[in-house]
Chain A
Amino acid sequence: MRCWDPRIEEMPVADLKKMQYRLLKTLVYRLYSFSPFYHERMKAHKVHPDDIKELSDVKKLPFMFKKDLRDNYPNKFFTASQEELVRYHVSSGTTGKPTVVGYTENDLNAWTTSLARALTSAGLGRGDVIQISYGYGLFTGGLGLHYGAERIGATVLPTSVGNTERQIELMQDLGSTAIACTPSYLLHMGEVAEKMGVSIKKDTKLRTGILGAEPWTEKMRERMEEWLGIKAYDIYGTSELSGPMFTECTEQNGFHIWSDIAYTEVVDPNTGEPVPQGERGELTVTILQKEALPMIRYRIGDITVMDEDLCPCGRTHPRVHRIQGRVDDMLIIRGINVFPSQVEYALMGIPEVGQHFQIVVDRKGALDDMLVRVELNKESFSDKITDLMHISEKVEHKLRNALNVNANVELVEPGSLPRFEGKSKKVVDRRSL
């Protein structure tokens, strides 16, 4: 099957926008009337539902942040009563207090529909055996994919995470054709299979991977497709939006965001203004029909690029490209967005420097000043100052090319930069102190 719901998925863009406007208008009226949170927030922002006269008026509405969910923990924010809820999920809370999300029957249905379209667009359907190796339970991955896969008539193998050898045996015995899990778990599975003398490429029927819940790169896609003999598709979602909701189609060029389910904006994380198409910014999503936990202009914190060009697959819904980083990590240096990951990428190509670095940002007068401290490799030490200056200039040059902004470089003694056991703190921003 090409499309799960061709009427929606191939609807002309103009009609989609009309639909979105209608849904947005209804949503805003409903929340202004019935949600104390949104009522207050809209009033504070001096916007009334009557001010929404066309789709682009969405930008008159205030943003929502994860903090709003945390401040209203666990469920003060819900717009459905407990009797109307049919499920809860709870985020892992890796970056702070966990957030609780709730669903009405309609919310679960919309989530499942979203995934039914997504899995179909990735070429799956009746006859497929889909092994769900995402965690089942409070995490949205397992159950989300489970119901989506059942909806398209595939056979679900709900293995959840862990017990990897058994998973590989089942994959062979029951002929799994697709697997949904994190990319790192699939890598692990491939390695365990090899230790068992099983080649996933040759000894199984696996041909599709639906991979997400953590960042992964195009390079990793190439490697997994070659090694495991599969097509690997990116899947996206967060618990605040319901869970995993969107995947790439067989074009493998960004995930389609269904316009009747979500209105997507990409905004400058600093100003909140929309960025021009093709430019990087923060993904901001309005879930148009959510009953239990409505989301208007929710700033997810993921950095990406939106693509509204028509996809060769024929679907008219916009696509969002692979997540490039998190807003929390982003620095704005002289108006230019800089990610520590870009700095790391540039430095890793320079043999004279070690793998530890630190970014120090100051303000000198009116200008931002970025200093990148790098450890000099032991082998690259020369007692000639000119040699050392060359290394430092080379690093400055590479960083300027990679970041489009000047960075001063300081060579430091090996082992002198702080080491971290958990998440590293590579940025010292002294501007905010």
Chain B
Amino acid sequence: MDVKKYVVKQISVFSENRPGRLAAIAHALGEEKINILAFSIAEASGFGVVRALVDHPEKAHKKLSSLGFNVAFTDVIAVHMKDKPGGLYEIAKILGDAMINIEYSYAYSGKDGAVLILRVDHVEEAIERISKTGATLIESSVFH
């Protein structure tokens, strides 16, 4: 299988923890007509990391970098979850059994059901394991 098509390019932005920073990021993306599909903020003392799946990652990277933001791409995977009790367990168990570590994760409930975004330590192996068990991975083309 072509695992590459399931590798989703997430955009990550370093942000100081002070008022207006998220607004600045969101405003920049809005100006460029970039749509945010999934989104989370991880916070630590003094700073945070904004993570987002957007429809035009390259354009977003360029725009935010030009504004002086520290921006990086991260490879993540997106998995359809059954939108019912036990849905998350199914996915988490597959990865746990394969000794693949989840570094972080966030989820959203979209039009076609719940989606789990995962950053794992072995991306390609995770894709293979998940697809083998019949769970549905979302191709990156769906996002960008």
Known contacts: A413-B68, A413-B69, A414-B70. The answer to whether A385 contacts B44 by CB under 8 A is: yes
A423 within 8 A of B: no
Judge whether B74 and A410 touch: CB under 8 Å. no
Residue from B43, B47, B51, B119 in contact with A410 in the complex, judged by beta carbons closer than 8 Å: B47
Contacts of B45 in A (CB 8 A): 410
A411 within 8 A of B: yes
Quick check: which of B10-18, B86-94, B122-130, B136-144 contacts chain A, the rest being far away? B10-18
Contacts of B14 in A (CB 8 A): 376, 381, 388, 411, 413
Contacts of B46 in A (CB 8 A): 410-412
Q: Which of B8-34 contact A (CB under 8 A)?
A: 10, 12, 14-16
Contacts of B69 in A (CB 8 A): 413
Judge whether B70 and A378 touch: CB under 8 Å. yes
B103 within 8 A of A: yes
Residue from B16, B43, B68, B72 in contact with A383 in the complex, judged by beta carbons closer than 8 Å: B72
Contacts of A381 in B (CB 8 A): 12, 14, 70-72
Interface code A352-389, partner B: CB below 8 Å = 1, 0 otherwise? 00000000000000000000000010100111110011
Judge whether B72 and A376 touch: CB under 8 Å. no
Residue from B47, B51, B104 in contact with A388 in the complex, judged by beta carbons closer than 8 Å: B47
Known contacts: A383-B51, A413-B14, A413-B16. The answer to whether A389 contacts B68 by CB under 8 A is: no
Judge whether A385 and B72 touch: CB under 8 Å. no
A271 within 8 A of B: no
Judge whether B72 and A412 touch: CB under 8 Å. no
A416 within 8 A of B: yes
Judge whether A388 and B72 touch: CB under 8 Å. no
A415 within 8 A of B: yes
Known contacts: A383-B12, A384-B103. The answer to whether A414 contacts B68 by CB under 8 A is: yes
Q: Which of A15-34 contact B (CB under 8 A)?
A: none
Count residues of B near A (Cβ-Cβ below 8 Å): 22
B42 within 8 A of A: yes
Contacts of B104 in A (CB 8 A): 384-385
Judge whether B12 and A376 touch: CB under 8 Å. no
Distance, CA A376 to CA B47, complexed state (A): 11
Contacts of A410 in B (CB 8 A): 45-47
Known contacts: A383-B51, A413-B16. The answer to whether A376 contacts B74 by CB under 8 A is: no
How big is chain A's contact interface, by range? Answer: 10 to 19
Judge whether B70 and A383 touch: CB under 8 Å. no
Interface code B27-63, partner A: CB below 8 Å = 1, 0 otherwise? 0000000000000001111110101000000000000
Contacts of A384 in B (CB 8 A): 49, 103-104, 119
Distance, CA A217 to CA B42, complexed state (A): 44
Judge whether A383 and B74 touch: CB under 8 Å. yes
Distance, CA A415 to CA B46, complexed state (A): 16
Contacts of B44 in A (CB 8 A): 385, 388-389, 392
Known contacts: A378-B70, A383-B72, A388-B44. The answer to whether A412 contacts B51 by CB under 8 A is: no
Residue from A378, A382, A412 in contact with B16 in the complex, judged by beta carbons closer than 8 Å: A412
Distance, CA A111 to CA B45, complexed state (A): 57
Contacts of B72 in A (CB 8 A): 381-383
Contacts of B103 in A (CB 8 A): 384
Judge whether A416 and B16 touch: CB under 8 Å. yes
Distance, CA A384 to CA B51, complexed state (A): 10
Distance, CA A410 to CA B18, complexed state (A): 12
Min CB distance B27 to A, Å, is 16
Contacts of B12 in A (CB 8 A): 381, 383
Distance, CA A383 to CA B14, complexed state (A): 7
Judge whether A416 and B68 touch: CB under 8 Å. yes
Contacts of A378 in B (CB 8 A): 70
Residue from B15, B42, B68, B119 in contact with A415 in the complex, judged by beta carbons closer than 8 Å: B68
Distance, CA A385 to CA B103, complexed state (A): 10
Judge whether B47 and A411 touch: CB under 8 Å. yes
Residue of A nearest to B46 (CB): A410
Extra A-B contacts (20), CB below 8 Å, given A392-B44, A410-B46, A412-B16: A376-B14, A381-B14, A381-B71, A383-B10, A383-B12, A383-B42, A383-B49, A383-B51, A383-B72, A384-B104, A385-B43, A388-B47, A388-B49, A410-B45, A411-B47, A413-B14, A413-B16, A413-B70, A414-B68, A414-B70
Binding site for B on A (CB under 8 A): 376, 378, 381-385, 388-389, 392, 410-416
Binding site for A on B (CB under 8 A): 10, 12, 14-16, 42-47, 49, 51, 68-72, 74, 103-104, 119
14 A-B contact pairs sorted by A residue (CB < 8 Å): A381-B14, A381-B70, A383-B10, A383-B51, A383-B72, A385-B43, A388-B49, A389-B44, A392-B44, A412-B47, A413-B16, A414-B70, A416-B16, A416-B68
- Give the 8 A-B CB pairs with smallest separation, nearest first: A383-B12, A410-B46, A415-B68, A381-B70, A383-B74, A385-B42, A385-B44, A383-B49
